[in-house]
């Protein structure tokens, strides 16, 4: 399995499949690059080089106690991309990964990144503050931290319900999809899982979004119970210079089913355009 060692000695796992223009995918919390398996194959099948990494502390990467913050995540990504010498690069991020690729593209990726795609992404800022009164109260994120500390395994099982919209009438999400979410979640070490909550909820990406000069496709389900669209995609679309917003009616946070099928075709179309 391919690993890359960052400048602070952290081993990062990644998968690299296909040939052609590079497309790098960044996963959400508490998952791993396995969350992108369908997209990696789809991109490789369509003539692209698909790369997906496990964020530090997640999946098969080193179980880090330090560096579980958005600046370090973006730096890790930058070092991996420089190591692979990727140019004309498309970066794709879901949820926390959306924040990671936006920060990378804005602060490290000038001259390398051609396009950005986000889905259910956390920018510009999730938590409620004086300058972000529409955000979610800090107590919501304190509850996530408490759940992870008390019984991470059960917490991840419970989280699959709102994540996939399985608590909505007519949901068709499979038991297998929920178990796969749990499996990936259980690979995260506790310190990384705990600290990443602060990273995805309290990092302000406003300046990163305004700094982007490349086209960005912003995808979001309007029934996202994890990252509400009004606090995220709708605001992000107003901040970027060259953005395309697409709202997926009834779609949850998790990329699955009909939402995944439509999103994947939109990803291919946006890259090709």
Other beta carbons less than 10 A from residue 212's beta carbon? 21
C-alpha–C-alpha distance, residues 245 and 252, integer Å: 16
The torsion region of residue 57 among left (phi > 0), alpha (psi -120 to 50) and beta comes to left
- pLDDT, tens digit, 9 for 90 and up, residues 181-207: 999 999 999 999 999 999 999 999 999
CA dihedral 157, 159, 164, 168 (to 10 degrees): 100
95 counts as catalytic: yes
pTM of the model: 0.97
Whether the per-residue pLDDT at 157 is higher than 90: the answer is yes
Domain boundaries defined on the chain: 3-272
Catalytic residue among 27, 58, 220, 253: 253
Q: 120-139 as b/e, with b when 16 or more CB fall inside 10 Å?
A: bbbbbbbbbeeebeebbeee
Catalytic residue among 32, 95, 201, 236: 95
Catalytic residue among 53, 224, 231, 236: 224
Whether 256 contacts 270, CB under 8 Å: no
Q: At 86, list the tokens.
A: 């990727």
Rounded mean pLDDT, 134-149: 97
What percent of the chain clears pLDDT 90, i.e. is strictly above it? Answer: 99
Superfamily of domain 3-272: Alpha/Beta hydrolase fold, catalytic domain (3.40.50.1820)
């Amino acid at each position: 399995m391919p690993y890359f060692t960052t400048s602070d000695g952290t081993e990062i796992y990644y998968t690299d499949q296909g040939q052609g223009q590079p497309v790098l995918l960044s996963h959400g919390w508490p998952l791993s690059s396995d969350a992108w398996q369908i997209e990696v194959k789809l991109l490789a099948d369509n003539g692209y080089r698909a790369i997906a990494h496990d964020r530090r502390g997640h999946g098969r990467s080193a179980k880090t106690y330090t560096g579980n913050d958005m600046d370090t995540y973006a730096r890790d990504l930058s070092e991996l991309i420089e190591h692979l010498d990727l140019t004309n690069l498309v970066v794709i991020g879901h949820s926390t990964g959306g924040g990671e690729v936006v920060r990378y593209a804005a602060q490290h990726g000038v001259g390398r990144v051609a396009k950005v795609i986000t889905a259910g992404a956390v920018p510009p800022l999730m938590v409620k503050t004086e300058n972000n009164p529409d955000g979610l109260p800090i107590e919501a994120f304190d509850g996530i931290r408490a759940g992870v500390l008390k019984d991470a395994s059960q917490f991840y099982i419970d989280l699959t319900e709102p994540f996939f919209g399985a608590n909505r009438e007519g949901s068709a999400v499979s038991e297998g999809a929920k178990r796969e979410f749990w499996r990936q979640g259980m690979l995260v070490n506790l310190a990384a899982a705990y600290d990443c909550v602060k990273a995805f909820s309290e990092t302000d990406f406003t300046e990163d979004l305004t700094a982007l000069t490349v086209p960005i496709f912003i995808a979001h389900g309007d029934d996202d119970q994890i990252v509400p669209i009004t606090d995220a995609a709708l605001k992000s679309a107003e901040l970027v210079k060259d953005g395309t917003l697409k709202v997926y009616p009834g779609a949850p946070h998790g990329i699955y089913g009909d939402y995944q099928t439509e999103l994947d075709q939109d990803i291919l179309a946006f890259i090709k355009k």
